[in-house]
Structure 1
Amino acid sequence: MRWLLERGGPIDRLSQTVLLTVPAGAEQPRLTAALQALIDHHAMLRARLTQDGELDVADAAGCVRAADLLDRRDVSRIDDLRAAVAEESERVPGLLDPAAGVMVRAVWFDAGPDRAGRLLLVVHHLAVDGVSWRILVPDLETAWAALAQGRTPKLPPVGTSFRRWSALLGEEARRPERVAEAGLWRRVLAAPRTPLGGRPLDPARDTAAGLRSLRLTLPAGTTGPLLTTVPSTFGTGTQEVLLTGLALAVADRQGTEHVLVDVEGHGREELTPGLDLSRTVGWFTSLYPVHLDLTGLDLSDALAAGPAAETAARRVGQRLRELPDRGIGFGLLRHLNPDTAPGLSEHPAPAIGFNYLGRFAAPGHAAEWAFAPESGSLGSGTEPGLGTAHTLDLNAVVHDLDTGPRLVADWTWPDGVLTEPEVRALADSWFAALTALVVRADGAAPLTDLSQDELDELAAGLDG
């Protein structure tokens, strides 16, 4: 949150959005009551951003009225809802007002008594993160089910409050053992860098309004092993495997042995005994720099699924395991400790941002309270005037489909700093590097030993 506010610029529209399938015959009073139960139960949905950059949370249940936050749109005569969803998902974030305590807005798409409707739920990013939705959506369904049975909703209790977590972070940032990490983070930020892009990033000029994007999808046959075989073979996790592929691709494209990446983590670290953040809604995300050092590796061998691919994976995995508490200390020392912050702000942030969101059921099923089929029409929830944090951002997620898991990669960059052909070339190189890691983990022949027909078949699979 401090990272966001330090960037300056507007943030009112910055939000996350889900689109859910609601039961046929749903009525606005019951939906309002279910939403009210959600707001009353989760404190961050009642937060207000003060002029001092603090979050003030209203404790009284009912002080934020769901009836004022839920709109109805009649779509009973519309068969294809995508246009209506796209229109509302662009309009509704503009209704958020964190300074006034409006962190939530919703739209009910009323499809009539005989057809399942939709519920668009928009929450300001200061109050929610990706993990929070795994709490909010089931709680909303639970509240709805109770109301449908004539009962008052009773949601599972929240463990550690976000208020307590926030206070703990302030204490942790000054703990001597944590302060001792500052030298580690200064060394990471001082690692060699190769400039990325045709010109330096200018946050005043390069805003979200000028972002360009590219989405590519990896086939299930390659995605599956990235979640299972490759991590188990190399003794690491899926995130580390994806970062290994990114390091190999960037190093190959830029001719460097040093790749610096800003990595996002879920941030829900058990810093002290007795914490329970499993049901706490809020923005916990951590962000920390990682130096991926490929010194001495034969990149050609690694990209051809040779022994260097395994060496790279194990080295990256080891580097990330060496970071205390999965990197949360960087943000603490950079933003919450005035003694260590100056030394960590001397160097600019890495040019590349990376976020692996995990594995989710892909939208497309019409089951009640599932992510609706029209979810692909949702807007991005960005604030057009907010300065861009990185020259290039990669957000990756695995969608579970009936045909198997597929890795979906969203690349974004400011127009004029990079070009689409440059980004596409890097994206293709990343998929090729991931494929090489799969081949190496499977014990198959190096890519250099494959026939041209086999190489052509592999390339066709990547294009798919």
Structure 2
Amino acid sequence: MLSFAQQRLWFLDRLRPGRPDHNVPTAIRLRGRLDQGALVLALTEVVRRHEVLRGRIVVVDDSPYQATAPVESFTPTVTDLTDLSAAHAHEQVRELVARDAQAPFDLGSAPMLRARLIRVADEDHVLSLVIHHIAVDGWSLSVLWREFSTVYRAAVSGREADLAELSLQYRDFARWQRSTHTGSAPQGQLEQWRRQFAGRIPSAFPTDRPRPALWSGRGDQVDIDVPGELSDRIRALGQAHDVTPFITLLAAFQVLLAHHSGVPDVPVGTPISGRTRIEVEPLVGFFVNTLVLRADLCGDPGFGEVLDRARRCAADAYAHQDVPFERLVEEVGPERDLGRHPLFTVMFQLDEAPALPSGLPGLTVSAHPVPHNGVKFDVEVSLTDHGDHFSGVLRYATDLFDHHTMERIAREYRSLLDRLVSDPERPISAWGPRLGPEVGEVVPPARPDTVPTATALPATAPCRRDGSPTETELLVLDVWAGVLGVTPDSVHADFFAWGGHSLLVSKVMSRLSRALGLELPLALLFHHPTVTELAHAIEAELTRDLVSTGSGPQLSPAGEGLRR
């Protein structure tokens, strides 16, 4: 059994297989005398303790489940570069770390953790880990490094590690979550989210170019730095309004979004640990949930009032955080669009400095940079609280934005922060009367209402001369009835209008693929959501397969004889 979050990642992997979109890479540099055997033992023990790291996804009756592989499935790779010059070795390290980070996982094969130890010199090593997000989150990395450190210290001392066996595994959480969110238990929290999104179409950050039909994940980033003096004032203002630095930084960015979009409500997503039960705190796994925070900037308030509103908004969201984001998407039912994230397009987060191993005898540990050129949202702001200042990056989709645009946004954000905290009672419009591009900039055309489809369809839909459904349409209707529990009343019925959602798409396309003996892409149903459109798209796929292989079932022009 998978958790809701795991099931969504499994679906996204099937929708666009062979991509590294959900890889979580991290790397550390180890200077000093390293005990390689102790390091391998420490990593292996962490994998043994946390079954999710050596799991794989199996499909039974069109539904995904997690199976656990033996710990022997995990084997770290050791790469020795000591025969290279120092400059060449470090260049190779960068290439290896980047290549590992971009290598996709096969979710049907264990483990979900890859490790490479790179020996640069006798007392200089780099350890690169890549974990699929389906098995890990940010909190989990702290757990992983803490246990790794404990086992390593014990191993170099020749003793057993003092780690209590885990009483729970991630699969226990997944089972609990499924049982908790079945039936009427979560309806109260779901209703609150429904009211928040009822009749309100999320606004998006204005882009430099029209949005493509398919999300590519290509991205770049610019740096954001908030100096110490400004950081101190941000903390002081937050304390005066009883809000955290996160709320203050987020509220300022929402003001910036409002200035650029021209609307007072641009929803922003933010991650939350999702560990609402103390029993799961020592576990590695994908617990993190996503909350959607909607700013209320109506009436041109001062920033102090914005902070008060933001505090109430956040408190309400936290009070309803038990609803998995995946359930929220199903319930709200946003317009299906493979070119954007549902419900929001901007992500904002503030984290502490990333966790590292500690107390390793004879070793100095530091973070090693990992290239990050992929994005999941239009704009992602990721800041770190260093105690005396804030810094981070603004990542963006290069399909949508130019680099100079994002550099300007980063500069404006820092400048706006300074102005807002300096005079929090002044109306926010005073700091951003401009509600669009800078003077002289070319405004890109709006995205067309029509979205290009993966398979071009002729103007006429497939049907027999007497108007009755084709064999292909009958097959689609039969499969839909089995998955939806109700039979659509027309070949023009829309799958999503009849209660279908993204996770049911997988079941439909799996059953159709089995019936036809051809692997059909999941995206086909998104692009062709009605019975007749999907039937014709399937026939086009089958015809393409026949042409490429020269074999297969013989089809009549109307698709008769297809069902078998």
**Short-chain TM bin:** 0.7 to 0.9
Contact map agreement 1:245 1:431 (CA 8 A) in 2: no
Residue among 377, 382, 394 paired with 1:410: 394
1:302 corresponds to which residue?
none
Task: Note the C-alpha offset of 1:186.
Answer: 2.7
Separation in 2 of the partners of 1:174 and 1:422?
Answer: 45
Show structure 2 runs of 5+ residues with no match. 1-5, 432-564
Residues 1:220 and 2:228 aligned together: yes
* Greater RCO, CA 8 A, separation 6+: 1
Separation in 1 of the partners of 2:382 and 2:405?
Answer: 17
1:40 corresponds to which residue?
48
Task: Note the C-alpha offset of 1:75.
Answer: 3.7
**Closer, same or farther in 2 for the Cα pair 1:168/1:379, shift >3 Å?**
same
Residues 1:248 and 2:255 aligned together: yes
Q: Give the 3-state SS of the residue equivalent to 1:152 in structure 2.
A: coil
Separation in 2 of the partners of 1:381 and 1:212?
Answer: 5
Contact map agreement 1:39 1:64 (CA 8 A) in 2: no
Separation in 2 of the partners of 1:76 and 1:25?
Answer: 18
Residue among 342, 345, 360 paired with 1:352: 345
Q: Which one-letter code corresponds to 1:320 in the other structure?
A: A
Residue among 134, 137, 144 paired with 2:145: 137
TM-score (norm 1): 0.77
Q: Which one-letter code corresponds to 1:331 in the other structure?
A: F
Residues 1:434 and 2:417 aligned together: yes
Q: Deviations over 1:330-365 (max 9, x none)?
A: 525336xxxxx25434587244332414111699x9
Separation in 2 of the partners of 1:371 and 1:412?
Answer: 30
Task: Note the C-alpha offset of 1:4.
Answer: 3.0
Contact map agreement 1:358 1:397 (CA 8 A) in 2: yes
2:300 corresponds to which residue?
297
Residues 1:105 and 2:100 aligned together: no
Separation in 2 of the partners of 1:287 and 1:379?
Answer: 24
- Identity, % of aligned pairs? 16
Structure 1 residues 156-305: aligned runs within 5 Å: 156-158=164-166, 160-189=168-197, 190-195=199-204, 196-198=206-208, 201-202=211-212, 204=214, 206-208=215-217, 210-226=218-234, 228-270=235-277, 275-298=278-301
Task: Note the C-alpha offset of 1:163.
Answer: 1.1
Residues 1:424 and 2:407 aligned together: yes
Separation in 1 of the partners of 2:390 and 2:364?
Answer: 19
Task: Note the C-alpha offset of 1:276.
Answer: 1.6
Contact map agreement 1:16 1:125 (CA 8 A) in 2: yes
Task: Note the C-alpha offset of 1:216.
Answer: 2.2
1:458 corresponds to which residue?
none
Show structure 1 runs of 5+ residues with no match. 299-307, 336-340, 383-387, 450-464
Residues 1:18 and 2:1 aligned together: no
Contact map agreement 1:12 1:98 (CA 8 A) in 2: no
Contact map agreement 1:126 1:282 (CA 8 A) in 2: yes
Contact map agreement 2:291 2:321 (CA 8 A) in 1: yes
RMSD of aligned Cα (Å) = 3.3
**Closer, same or farther in 2 for the Cα pair 1:389/1:313, shift >3 Å?**
same
Q: Deviations over 1:184-225 (max 9, x none)?
A: 323333435444325553352x312x3232222222222344
Task: Note the C-alpha offset of 1:290.
Answer: 2.1
Residues 1:3 and 2:13 aligned together: no
Contact map agreement 1:244 1:316 (CA 8 A) in 2: yes
Q: Deviations over 1:377-406 (max 9, x none)?
A: x12385xxxxx6432222222346xxx333
Bigger CA drift: 321-330 or 278-287? 321-330
Q: Which one-letter code corresponds to 1:425 in the other structure?
A: R
TM-score (norm 2): 0.65
Contact map agreement 1:250 1:426 (CA 8 A) in 2: no
Contact map agreement 1:38 1:140 (CA 8 A) in 2: yes
Separation in 2 of the partners of 1:112 and 1:291?
Answer: 51
Separation in 2 of the partners of 1:334 and 1:43?
Answer: 28
Contact map agreement 1:48 1:56 (CA 8 A) in 2: yes
Q: Which one-letter code corresponds to 1:398 in the other structure?
A: D
Residues 1:150 and 2:144 aligned together: no
Q: Give the 3-state SS of the residue equivalent to 1:422 in structure 2.
A: helix
Task: Note the C-alpha offset of 1:82.
Answer: 4.4
Separation in 1 of the partners of 2:54 and 2:24?
Answer: 16
Task: Note the C-alpha offset of 1:319.
Answer: 0.8
Separation in 1 of the partners of 2:201 and 2:281?
Answer: 38
Contact map agreement 1:22 1:118 (CA 8 A) in 2: yes
Separation in 2 of the partners of 1:132 and 1:381?
Answer: 23
**Closer, same or farther in 2 for the Cα pair 1:133/1:241, shift >3 Å?**
same
Contact map agreement 1:244 1:313 (CA 8 A) in 2: yes
1:86 corresponds to which residue?
94
Contact map agreement 1:19 1:121 (CA 8 A) in 2: yes
Contact map agreement 2:50 2:169 (CA 8 A) in 1: no
Separation in 2 of the partners of 1:182 and 1:127?
Answer: 26
Contact map agreement 2:46 2:148 (CA 8 A) in 1: yes
1:323 corresponds to which residue?
317
**Closer, same or farther in 2 for the Cα pair 1:330/1:165, shift >3 Å?**
closer
**Closer, same or farther in 2 for the Cα pair 1:246/1:154, shift >3 Å?**
same
Q: Which one-letter code corresponds to 1:26 in the other structure?
A: L
Q: Deviations over 1:46-67 (max 9, x none)?
A: 111224563524275x3434xx
Contact map agreement 2:226 2:414 (CA 8 A) in 1: yes
If you compute each CA radius of gyration, which structure gives the higher value, 1 or 2? 2
Contact map agreement 2:394 2:410 (CA 8 A) in 1: no
Separation in 2 of the partners of 1:236 and 1:175?
Answer: 35
How many residue pairs are counted as aligned between the two chains? 410
